[in-house]
Amino acid sequence: MGRKHAIHHFVNALLAPLFVVCLCLLPIFFIFKFLYTIYLHLRNENMEGKVVIVTGASSGIGEQLSYEYAKKGARLVIVARREERLQQVAKTARGLGSPDVVPICADVSNVNDCKRFVDETINHFGRCKSLSISI
């Protein structure tokens, strides 16, 4: 009986106030986290002169990412399987402001193709800022 009483006393004395504090602080934390996420989303990262590889660049999300990075002045390596469409995206990206666009026809499901386009990027630019993969 004494042990049970000690457990109840512990729960009432320590955990109940801790629960109330968490109940007050968690909403503040989530609001802060939400606002910080919005801030990160809206800030403009300076991509001018940086090298970005975009896969799946001939259509969909990959194509739109290519255009967004081009508008920010990034140097692009765009990768896709459809070469004709890839050339069109490269032309548009250059028109939007990318100083250098390297289109590479490759299949990301093939390991050798992946190694090849990364090697070609490093050989052409000497570096790579980030990798954006879209399927």
Mean pLDDT for the chain?
Answer: 85
Q: Is the Cβ–Cβ distance between 51 and 132 less than 8 Å? A: no
In the beta sheet, which residues pair with residue 78? 54, 103
Q: How does pLDDT run across 36-70, given as a tens digit for each residue?
A: 887 776 676 778 888 999 999 999 999 999 998 99
Element (H, E) at 89: helix 83-96
130 pLDDT tier (thresholds 50, 70, 90) = low
Tokens of 8: 């109840």
Exposure of 103 in the CB half-sphere (CA atoms within 13 A): 20
| pLDDT above 90 as % of the chain | 48
Query: Is 27's pLDDT higher than 90?
Result: no
Greater pLDDT, 41 or 26: 26
Q: How does pLDDT run across 87-106, given as a tens digit for each residue?
A: 999 999 999 999 999 999 99
Q: Quickly tell me which residue has 């250059």 as its tokens.
A: 94
